[in-house]
Amino acid sequence: MFAFNSLIAGLIPYFPKWFVRPFAKPYVAGESLDEAIDIVRDLNKKGYAATMDILGEFVESTDEANQIKDDYAQVIQRIAEYGLDSTISVKPTHLGLGLDDALGEANIMALAQSGKDYGVGVTIDMENSPYTSQTFDIYKRALSIHDNMGTVIQAYLYRSLDDIKSLDSPRLNLRICKGIYKESPEIAIQNRTAINDNYVEMAKTLLNGDGYACLATHDLSLIDRLEALIESENIPSDRFEFQVLYGVPMGKRLEALKAKGYKVRVYVPFGEAWFEYSVRRLKENPKIISYVMGNWFRR
Ligand SMILES: Cc1cc2nc3c(=O)[nH]c(=O)nc-3n(C[C@H](O)[C@H](O)[C@H](O)COP(=O)(O)OP(=O)(O)OC[C@H]3O[C@@H](n4cnc5c(N)ncnc54)[C@H](O)[C@@H]3O)c2cc1C
């Protein structure tokens, strides 16, 4: 199956956009901000919080990085203007990190300031391992501007449990995810069961510390374990939330989580860069192809 997925992933950049669009469509909330706002409004009506993400990463010019910062500032203003229950999620390399580190950081700080001005939370997504330490450092500095800042930690990295311990504070807002990038065995756990075990250990450490935990996963057996942990440790529901990506079928599980009084947030990606983004994601992680095909049949 892996060889088949890799073959399709390698061919996708050569397919026309109209052919790839149906694969990407269920997971992308449109190309425009207006389309994404309609989706967030609908999610809010159904009782879900959201976080809005402009698709893209690794910009190639400082102008582009500045444009993305301005686009995000507009997203923040619209969230506030329409009273939406949504934060934003930003990728550091989309705002210039890696190209011009000082500019990348300045753009994140500018968004932290607009988030504060408009009362909108800002989460710094975690990219691949060359950016891990830098992202945590920027996150800590951004917290001095805006209280409602979050970042992300990846359960596949060996370093993550120690990172949680050193980040912990009452102001910490940390999304735990398994991790989407291809990382080497020297720094990252490769075994699926061991990644899940580390995820649970990390969630336990975070929930028993002072920070707020965002439990991001679609893995139903992992959600079972997280719920059992929350119940056995008597964790109050204002200490955590569950998070999922827009469009990934979850059966009735999200309704069940809400019925227990747990907060659920949906990550809503949108933007013109959906094609490049989907291609890059697929090449990095060809198993998404079997997810997408499996999800089609489960719909
Ligand atoms: C809200 C949110 C934010 C995230 N932010 C980051 C981040 O900042 N940095 C980072 O490295 N990773 C991020 N991720 C991705 C994460 O690291 C995982 O790669 C991804 O969620 C798949 O892992 P899983 O926990 O869902 O479990 P898996 O065991 O990989 O997946 C469980 C099931 O979920 C479904 N599924 C999972 N992913 C997809 C998909 N993309 N498309 C369709 N179906 C899918 C499939 O049915 C699969 O069988 C985020 C994930 C979520 C939910």
**pTM recorded for the entire structure:** 0.93
Query: Measuring CA to CA, how many Å separate 119 from each of 85, 86, 112, 116, 164?
Result: 11, 10, 10, 5, 26
Chain centroid offset of residue 121 CA:
13
> Which residue type occupies 130?
P
- Distance, in Å, from the CA atom of 108 to the CA atom of 285, rounded to the nearest integer, reads 27
Which residues are 216's β-sheet partners?
243
Token reading at 150: 């979050």
Chain centroid offset of residue 181 CA:
13
State mean pLDDT over 73-92.
98
- Distance, in Å, from the CA atom of 189 to the CA atom of 10, rounded to the nearest integer, reads 25
- Distance, in Å, from the CA atom of 193 to the CA atom of 198, rounded to the nearest integer, reads 9
Q: pLDDT, tens digit, for every residue of 26-36?
A: 788 999 999 99
Q: pLDDT, tens digit, for every residue of 204-252?
A: 999 999 999 999 999 999 999 999 999 999 999 999 999 999 988 899 9
Q: Which of 83, 179, 162 is nearest to 126 (CA)?
A: 179
Chain centroid offset of residue 210 CA:
21
Output phi, psi for 290, to 5 deg.
-70, -30
- Distance, in Å, from the CA atom of 138 to the CA atom of 284, rounded to the nearest integer, reads 26
Under DSSP, is residue 243 helix (H, G, I), strand (E, B) or coil?
strand
Residue-range domain boundaries for the chain: 29-270
- Class for domain 29-270, per CATH? alpha beta
Residue 117: active-site member: no
pLDDT given at position 281: 65
Ligand 1: which of 218, 250, 268, 297 to mutate, most ligand atoms within 8 Å of CB?
Answer: 218
Contact of 53 with 269, CB cutoff 8 Å:
yes
Q: pLDDT, tens digit, for every residue of 132-173?
A: 999 999 999 999 999 999 999 999 999 999 999 999 999 999
Whose CA is closest to atom 30 on ligand 1? 219
- Ligand 1 atom closest to the CA of 89, numbered from 1: 8
Instruction: Tell me which of 7-16, 83-92, 255-264 is least confident.
Output: 7-16
> Which residue type occupies 155?
A
CB of 244 shorter than 6 A to ligand 1: yes
- Distance, in Å, from the CA atom of 206 to the CA atom of 209, rounded to the nearest integer, reads 5
pLDDT averaged over every residue in the chain: 92
Using a pLDDT cut of 70, give the percent of the chain over it.
91
* Residue 93, CB-side half-sphere exposure with 13 Å CA sphere: 14
Catalytic residue among 78, 175, 265, 281: 175
pLDDT given at position 11: 72
Under DSSP, is residue 54 helix (H, G, I), strand (E, B) or coil?
strand
Is it the case that residue 175 has pLDDT exceeding 70? yes
State mean pLDDT over 85-103.
98
CB of 154 shorter than 6 A to ligand 1: yes
Is it the case that residue 48 has pLDDT exceeding 90? yes
